[in-house]
Amino acid sequence: MQELIPINVVIGDRTYRIKIEPRDEEVVRKTLKLINDKIIEYKTQFAGRDMQDYIAMVVLWYATQPVEGGVHGLNHTVMDALVRMEQQLDKVL
């Protein structure tokens, strides 16, 4: 197993520091771009909502997308990191 590298990720208007395997960085960054682009899209369609609503809409959209190459192309390490971030969000909000 490779050494995990720390990266800062931004989802919505918050920054999170996560550790991932170097080989997963490209997938994580592409996924973050997709998520943040979708948040912006929903913000323009549904004005007046708060960020938690937009993130919830994106999570629902993302979870119902057809799966390609496993769990949306993500391996378990990245999925575990996303679950930890979600748990942190739940504690804050």
Confidence (pLDDT) at 3: 92
- Specify the 3-state DSSP secondary structure of 21: coil
Please state whether the predicted TM-score (pTM) of the whole model is above 0.75: no
Q: What is the pLDDT of residues 12-68, one digit of tens each?
A: 989 999 999 999 999 999 999 999 999 999 999 988 789 999 999 998 888 888 765
Place of tokens 């949306």: 72
Confidence (pLDDT) at 84: 79
Burial of 6 (0-12, 13-18, 19+ CB in 10 A): exposed
